[in-house]
Amino acid sequence: MAKVAIVTGSATGLGAACAVDLADRGWNVTINYTKSKKEADETYASVKERGGDAIVVQADVGRDADCRKLVSETFKKWGRIDGLINNAGTTKFQAQGDFEGVTPEDFDRIFRVNVTGTYMMSRAVWPTMKKQWEENKQRGSIVNVSTNATVTGNGSSIPYVASKGAVNTLTLMLARMFAPAARVNTICPGFIQSRWLLNGLGEADYNKMKDDMEQRTLLCQAGTPEQMAEAALFFLTSASNITGEILIVDAGSHLGLIPAKER
């Protein structure tokens, strides 16, 4: 029987790449979106083309009822849940030094989706993963998506970086609470070539950052959604003896960019 995963925020970008990669590995997938229905349907079609089964569920992970709906509809479809990728997230882009660029309301919204949403989705899958472990010793896996900005302190905004730091700490606590029924790990991507980042930064800043990644990181790479999905699926499908781990995936950019003259 094929394994089943929920991937939140999987209409585009990293989430969509995870859904497609899972289908290539024989998994069935719940594709989740909040607003991007057209893109979610396209991801669904890509999963089906690769032989995977899928459903598309609209849900806001910042709402507990929606989190429980995602889990309920997944279980109703396949009768099991083996994996969860907490990818859905939000931010507000804040200019360097502009302390008035974010409000307390921005903090509330960003933490509600990025931190509370990660917690509520994990809580919602817990009864199913616990039961599968107790009855069949089938261990589940949860992968959270954070950011390398939790190490560098250089991200889209203060509340975004703070929220992802909280996700890293939450990962450690959840790894304890879910053991031994499930493993819980986190990836911390750096720059990802995506529409989300392009829209947030603007074309000029996006292209400059992309050029820096390609020319001045240790691996001379600007990360792709597919590369980040490789890391997420390593934790989800392969790393059977790893839990509570936080992995930076950024071509070495957290170690600093190499001066252009040295390239």
The one catalytic residue among 33, 44, 160, 206: 160
Residue 150 contacts residue 191 (beta carbons within 8 Å): no
Residue 157 contacts residue 95 (beta carbons within 8 Å): no
Q: E-assigned strands of 65-220?
A: 83-86, 140-145, 182-189
* Alpha-carbon gap, residue 173 to 175, rounded angstroms: 5
Tokens 């992968």 sit at which residue? 143
What's the number of CA atoms in the CB half-sphere (13 Å) around residue 210?
Answer: 14
User: Residue 160 catalytic?
Assistant: yes
| Residue 200 burial (10 A CB sphere; 0-12, 13-18, 19+) | middle
Tokens of 123: 């809580």
* Alpha-carbon gap, residue 144 to 217, rounded angstroms: 24
Tokens of 192: 């990802």
Tokens 């989800």 sit at which residue? 236
Q: Which residues are catalytic?
A: 160
